[in-house]
Chain A
């Protein structure tokens, strides 16, 4: 009874012979090639390429002017590397919403909590500092819609 089955009238009939054929195979394959080609198109051109790691540049006139032992950011470097965005949001919160614009670093130094003035005061090279990692990680922080960098001014020797 293996190749017989009961039909709708109660009788038994032979199983209809369906030809074992893959219909429209070439169109399906073509479609798959186009589909996967599109899916992987952003990855394929960069496959096997080595992209240089970002190297933020710290050599700005303001930093070079400091003595070696004073070349310390508001927090230790590993902390800044990981949490600078959180620190900036905390500063923003403290300065604007609570009116507390003073920040005391773990070394006991006092800073004014201000991106435009304090951060960009030392790191006046946005394209060689901020943009290095931000471009590498493909993040576009919206700071620069309002806050200004001092790059051109420093290059001209006009900034403090």
Chain B
């Protein structure tokens, strides 16, 4: 080809200049913004690997309760201590036995068993840790499910298909975090205020936190994250600029029972 070095460099320079205006170059300079400006509409939140960071330095007991209340309200989680009809009131023992938990609190020694020392910081000792499904990378509940009612999505969310659940409770035995609850009773009489946009569950299925996958689909952050006033961070673990990675890079974090090899994806800043 009849092109000398000078012409080649000219052409290369010109094409670099043109390339700067392209979508990929904009993406390089200001990630995410170009795509957002193009679409405009509320579009689903997607990630390569969803993860959550719970900042216990920021989270007080009151906010934790707000997070729990927000989740319960959005997902129609029954409160067995508070039935619609007073006649259906349960004893404390039954209430504890049939409890449905998506997100709940526990003290340090129950949250991080095996990691406890004889002498712990007074503050940590009294902390109520916010617990939820860890959406493990290697989820034992998925491995044991005989109907594939629970399965791992590509973005890391351990999803449940209630239509397929046969209520065998293998997953409850497999989960080392106690994140799964079984519907021993019809939950409907124990939901004071139902959210008609989300289904309730039926007697005989297992349920758990799903990282609000139905809210992510319409561009909303999980209910607990919204209610946490910044104490919970949710984002893409594979995106170095995400809120989650920012916190993980700046703080020492611990996870629940990492020695079991399930690779939990909820991180705690203590």
User: Which residues of A are found within 8 Å of B155, using beta-carbon distances?
Assistant: 99
From B199, B202, B218, A116 is in contact (CB under 8 Å) with B199
A148 and B44 form a contact (CB under 8 A)? no
A145 and B194 form a contact (CB under 8 A)? no
B198 and A116 form a contact (CB under 8 A)? yes
User: Considering the chains assembled together, what is the distance between the CA atoms of A145 and B161 in angstroms?
Assistant: 15
Interface flag for A146 (CB, 8 Å): yes
Q: Interface residues of A: mostly helix, strand, loop or mixed? A: mixed
B154 and A146 form a contact (CB under 8 A)? no
From A99, A102, A116, B213 is in contact (CB under 8 Å) with A99
Interface flag for A133 (CB, 8 Å): no
A146 and B218 form a contact (CB under 8 A)? no
From B151, B159, B162, B196, A150 is in contact (CB under 8 Å) with B196
User: Considering the chains assembled together, what is the distance between the CA atoms of A116 and B199 in angstroms?
Assistant: 7
User: Considering the chains assembled together, what is the distance between the CA atoms of A30 and B142 in angstroms?
Assistant: 62
User: Which residues of B are found within 8 Å of A150, using beta-carbon distances?
Assistant: 196
Interface flag for A13 (CB, 8 Å): no
Count residues of A near B (Cβ-Cβ below 8 Å): 20
Residue in A closest to B160 when the chains form the complex, CB atoms: A96
From B162, B196, B217, A149 is in contact (CB under 8 Å) with B196
The proximity string for A residues 7-46 relative to B, scoring 1 for CB distances below 8 Å and 0 otherwise, is 0000000000000000000000000000000000000000
User: Considering the chains assembled together, what is the distance between the CA atoms of A62 and B68 in angstroms?
Assistant: 32
Interface flag for B153 (CB, 8 Å): yes
24 A-B pairs, CB-CB below 8 angstroms? A92-B163, A96-B159, A96-B161, A97-B161, A99-B153, A99-B155, A99-B213, A99-B217, A101-B214, A101-B217, A112-B217, A112-B218, A114-B197, A114-B214, A116-B198, A116-B199, A146-B162, A146-B199, A146-B201, A148-B196, A149-B196, A150-B196, A153-B196, A159-B196
- A→B interface (CB under 8 Å): 92, 95-97, 99, 101-102, 112, 114, 116-117, 120, 145-150, 153, 159
